[in-house]
Chain A
Amino acid sequence: MRETLRALRGRLERFVRPRTPEPFPVELHRRRIYVLPTRFGLFFGVMLVAMGVGALNYNNNPALLLMLLLAGAAQTSLLGAHLQLSGLRLVAVSADPVPAGAPILLRLHARAPSRGRERRGLRVDCPDATGTLSLDDGVGEAELALPTQRRGWLDVPRLRISTTRPLGLVRAWSWVWPEQPLLVYPAPEPNGPPLPDGAGEAALARLHPLGDDVHHLRAYRRGDPPRTIAWKPTARLGSLLVREYEQPLSADIVLDWFRITGLDMEARIRRLARWVDEAERDGRRYRLVVPGHPPIGPAQGAAHRHACLRALALLPGGMGAR
C-alpha cells in the first residue's frame, strides 16, 4: 500500500513544475506554488463541516457564525501560506566541496522583494535533508546537509520549499531544481604509504636565513640582524661580515599518477587525494600529475589544493568509480 502510494506520488511529481533543473535565480510565482491541506487541516475541515451541518440542523445561528468565523480564518491562513512563498527569489546555491562520504552543506540563498511580508521558518527539504529558511531584511539562506557518496559533480536534488504557517492548516510548497552541480572531492585513502620524497626531481636548495648549516660569509648589508654578524672574521678582515645560513628546503613533491602501481583507478585517486592533503598539512609544495590534464603546480595553498582535488574529483570514472 505504502509502496503504491509512493509510486503514485513519484508519478505525480513528474508533472509538477519545474520538470527539469533550471538556472538560478528563480522567482517563485503563483503558478508554481501548490497549496493543500495538512492532516491537521483535513481534521479541522471535517470538524467544520460537522459543526456547520449541526448548526444548520438546529438552526443555531451563533454556532453557525462560530463555524463560519473559523472557516474564514482558515481561508485567510490558506492565502497567507501561499503568500509566504509568492514572490520569493532564490538567488543561488553554493557549497564548500567536501570529500565523498561526508555530508555537503548546501546553502540556498534567497531574497524577497517586498519589505512588508514576513517570511520566516520556511522549510527547505529534499528526501535526504531538511533546512530552514528565514528572511530578515529581505535576505536569508537555508542550509541543507546533503549526503554524498562519490566524487565528482553532485546534482542538487529537486528541493521543496514549504510552509504550514500561519495556522498549520495548509501546506504551501514550491519546487526548485538548481541546475548548478556541486563538487565533491574524492575521499582520501584512510591509511597508506607516506608522501613520496622529491629526490628524483631536481632538488632546489634555497637560502634560508635561519638555517643551521653555515654556508658562507658575505659583506654586511644594511638591515642584517646584528646577531648574524660574524665577529671573529670581521675582526680579522676589518670589514663587517655576515654569516649566511642555508637550509635545504624540502624538495617539491611530485604526486604522479603514473608512479603509483598495483592499484585500481579509484584507489589511486584516493591515495593522491590523501597525499595532497598531507602535503598541504606539512606545508610543502607539490605538483600533481594526472592523466588527461596538464601538470598542476608546483605550488601550495588553498587554491592549489582545490585545483588538485578538483582535477582528481573530475577524473573520468573508471572501473569501480561508483
Chain B
Amino acid sequence: MAGTRLDARTRLGVLLAAGACVAPLLLQVPTTLALVITGVAIAMAFLSQRPPLPGWLRMVPALGLGAFVFSTMGVNFGRDTGCAMLAAMLAVKPLETNTLRDARSLLGFALFAPFATFLLDQGPLSLVLGLLAVVLVLAAMQRLSDVESDDARRPRTAWRRLRSVGWMLLLGLPLALAAFWLFPRLASPLWGVPDRAHVRPGLADSMTPGRWSDLLLDDTPAARVRFFGPVPPRDRMYFRGPVFMQYDGRTWSRAPLQSSYTAQPVRASGTAWDYELEFEPTDRRQLIALDVPLSPPPNAHFWSDRALRVERPLDSVTRWRMQSAPVATFEADLPRTLQLAALQLPQGFNPRTIALARQWRQDAGANDAAIVNRALSWIRRDFGYTLEVPITGRDAIDQFLFRDKKGYCEQFSSSFVVLMRAAGIPARVVAGYAGAELNTLGGYWLVRRSDAHAWAEVWLAGRGWVRIDPTAAVAPERVFDTIQDRARASGDLLANLQPMFDTGDWMVSTWNDFVLGFNADRQRRLLQPLGFDAVDPERLLLLFSLVAIAALAATVWLLSRDVRERDPLLRAWHRVGRRYAKLGLARAPHEPASEWTQRVHRARAGGDDALVALGARFSRRRYGPAREAGERLNALLRDLDKHRP
C-alpha cells in the first residue's frame, strides 16, 4: 500500500504543502539563494511528473544546490547554513516523490521548515505562513490517507478538506495550549544555542558612520516599555546600548578594557523610574536600558560603562524589569587607563579637527565645559541634519566638520567625540535608542528600530560622564520624532491610520506577552494570581495532566457525539419518551405518537390522560396544518419538559 503511486492531483497537493512549508524559510535566507532554491524546486516539481530519472542524474541537482548553499553561506555550519541546507534538500526532494511513502516522508521533513523558520524569526509574517503550511500539510496528509484507503470514488472538495483539518486543529488546540502553558520549561538549555551568522538590523557591536541609514528607516519595533509609576518626559528617554571607546579613524568599537573594570555605583538624583522592558530579539547579548539602570536585572551584568550584557543571546522576545534614575554623578573617579582610552585618537587622521581643538583648548584654559558649549553652539549654528550623507574619505571628521556640515547622529556624535578628545576631554560614543511613542491602547511606549540613535558622553571633573547629544542641538525634532510627528507633517492620511498602527502593535505586544516572552520564570509565576507561589515542576506536571485529561475528554465528547436532533420539539418529545423507558413503556422507534400514548394509557393503572393530551398536542403542532393548532411552541415545550410519568 505504501508503494501506491500518486495520482497527479494528490501529488500536486503534496508539493504545494511542501512549498508552503519552505516559503517562510526562504524569506530568512539571502535573496539570491532563495531565488535559486525556488527555481530548482519548481524545476524539480515539473521534472517529477516524468518517469523517474536514473539515480546518478538525480544526484546532480542535489550536489549542485548543496555546493551553492555552501558557497553563499560560507562553510561555518551555523543555524543559517543548516536552515538553507534544509530548504535546498526540500527543493530537490520532489524529484523522487512518486509513491505514497515518498510523499509522506516529504511532508514530514517539510514540517521542519516552519520549525526552522521560527528559530530564525518570530515575526507575524513567519507565524502566519507557518500556520498556513501546517494546515496545508495536514490536508495533504488527509488526502494521502484517503488514497491509501482506496476511497477515491468520492473525492472531497478542497473546502471540505480544509474544514475538516481546521476542525482537527481546533479540537487539538486545548491540549496544545495546556501543554504550552503548563509543560515544564528548561531553565537552562541542553546544548548551546549557536549565534545567528546573518544579522538583522539592530545595534551592532561597532559603529561605522554612514552605515545606519537603513536602520533609521526601519519602523519595526525594537522594544516596548511599560512604566510603573512616573514616566520620564520623552526628551529624556535615552535608552543606552553599547558604549564605544575605541576609534580607528573609520569605526567605533568597544575597547577590551571596558569589560575589565567593574562598574562604579552612581549617585541618582530625583525619583527612580520603574519599568519593564520587552526587548525584541536581536541575537546579540547587548541589552538596552533607560538612561543608567541602578542595578543589573537577573541574568545580566554591567560593564564598567554600565552597558548591560546578558548571559544568552537575545534570540527571542525577552522581558526585563529594571529601575533607572536620572544621574547626578556617574564615575566621578575615572581610572587612569580608562581616561587614556577615552582620549585615544588614531595617529595622523583629521589634522584640521585636531588643530581646531587645540586652538579651543588654548582659548578656554582649564574650563572643559566652555569647550563643550562652544562646540555645541558651533554645531547648532552651522550644521544641518540629513540622512543623505556623501561617501567619506580618509579624514572623515575633517570632511564633515569643515566641508559637508550635514549628517545624522552617527556623524554628529563621532565628530563631537573626536573634537573633545583632541581638546583633551575624555569622551565616548554611546549607541542606543532615543524617544518612544505611546501606544494608548496598550499603555506602553514603543521604541522602533528607526529610533536608533548615537550620542556622546564627555567626562567632566566632579560630575563624571555627562550625556551630550550634538544631534539634538541641531535637530531635536529628528531625535525624538515619532510616526505621529511625521504624519502631522505629511498630511492627514498617516494620522488617520495611526489608530490602526496602534491596534496592530498592541496585538503583537499581547502575543509577545502570552506566547513569545513565556519562559520558565514566567511559568513559575503563572499561578500567582490564583494564590500559588512558585509552582514546582512536579506540581506543574500534575496540573498539566489534569488539564490534559479534561481536554482529551472534551475532544472525545465532541468527536463521538452523533448528530443532535435539531428540532427542539422533537427533542423534547424524545425526552418524554425516555422518561417512560424506566417503566418499561419506552416508545418504539416506529411507533406513532398516538399509538404509543394509547398503549401507555392502557398499560398504566388509572391511565395516563396527561400523556394522551400531550401526545395529541404534539401531533397537532408537528404534523397538523400550519398554525391551525393556535398553540405556542414555547408553552408546549414547557409542558413537555414538565411532564413526568
Contact = CB atoms under 8 A, between A and B. Distances in A.
Interface of A: 39-40, 43-44, 47, 51, 53-77, 79-80, 83, 86, 114-117, 120-123, 132, 134, 163-169
Interface stretch (B42-50, B58-66, B179-187): B179-187
Interface of B: 2, 101, 104-105, 108, 111-112, 114-115, 118-119, 122, 126-127, 130, 134, 138, 141-142, 144-146, 148-151, 153-154, 164-165, 168-169, 171-177, 179-180, 185-186, 189-191, 193, 315-316, 515-520, 552, 555-556, 559-563
B563 A114 contact: yes
Contacts, number: 166
Given A47-B112, A134-B151, A75 B141 contact: no
Contacts of A114: 562-563
Contact of B171 (A47, A76, A117, A134): A76
Given A62-B122, A72-B175, A83 B560 contact: yes
A174 to B, nearest CB: 15
B122 A72 contact: no
A166 B143 CA distance: 8
Contact of B130 (A66, A74, A163): A66
Contacts of A169: 141
Contact of B185 (A47, A53, A59, A165): A59
Contacts of A123: 149-150
Given A58-B119, A72-B172, A120-B154, A40 B108 contact: yes
Determine the main DSSP class of B at the interface with A: helix
A276 to B, nearest CB: 38
A51 B172 contact: no
B228 to A, nearest CB: 25
The 5 lowest CB-CB distance pairs between A and B, nearest first, are A72-B172, A121-B151, A121-B149, A116-B563, A168-B145
A69 B180 CA distance: 10
B179 A68 contact: yes
B516 A132 contact: no
A24 B49 CA distance: 48
Given A39-B2, A69-B134, 10 more contacts: A65-B176, A69-B172, A75-B555, A79-B559, A83-B560, A116-B563, A117-B562, A120-B149, A120-B154, A163-B149
Contact of A165 (B111, B146, B165): B146
A117 B141 CA distance: 20
Given A70-B134, A76-B168, A51 B115 contact: yes
A47 B560 CA distance: 29
B105 A59 contact: no
Nearest to B178: A68
Contacts of B171: 72, 76
A57 B112 CA distance: 16
A64 B181 CA distance: 11
Nearest to A81: B145
Nearest to B2: A39
B452 to A, nearest CB: 26
12 contacts: A55-B115, A57-B193, A58-B193, A62-B516, A65-B515, A66-B130, A69-B169, A72-B175, A73-B165, A73-B169, A76-B172, A168-B144
Contacts of A40: 101, 104, 108
Contact of B518 (A61, A68, A73, A75): A61
Contact of A167 (B118, B134, B142, B153): B142
B151 A71 contact: no
B104 A168 contact: yes
B164 A166 contact: yes
B191 A57 contact: yes
Contact of A75 (B134, B149, B172): B172
Contacts of B118: 55, 60, 62-63, 66
B559 A76 contact: yes
B321 to A, nearest CB: 18
A50 to B, nearest CB: 8
Contacts of B111: 47, 51, 70
Contacts of B119: 54, 58, 60, 63
A172 to B, nearest CB: 12
Given A69-B173, A73-B138, A73-B172, A58 B149 contact: no
Contacts of A72: 169, 171-176
Contacts of A134: 151, 153
A77 B115 contact: no
A51 B179 CA distance: 14
A59 B515 CA distance: 11
A44 to B, nearest CB: 6
Contact of B189 (A57, A63, A165): A57
Contact of B127 (A43, A62, A75): A62
A115 B122 CA distance: 44
Nearest to B184: A56
A67 B555 contact: no
Query: Which of B111, B130, B186, B560 gathers most chain A CB within 10 Å?
Result: B560
A99 B268 CA distance: 104
Contacts of A69: 134, 169, 172-173, 176
B559 A115 contact: no
Contacts of B153: 134
A80 B142 CA distance: 12
A62 B168 contact: no
A258 to B, nearest CB: 52
Query: Which of B127, B141, B518 gathers most chain A CB within 10 Å?
Result: B141
A168 B141 contact: yes
A166 B142 contact: yes
Given A60-B316, A72-B172, A168-B148, A44 B108 contact: yes
Contacts of B122: 60-62
Given A59-B186, A62-B130, A167-B138, A80 B168 contact: yes
Nearest to B186: A56
A132 B150 CA distance: 7
Contacts of B173: 69, 72
A73 to B, nearest CB: 5
Nearest to A116: B563
Query: Which of A69, A70, A132 gathers most chain B CB within 10 Å?
Result: A69
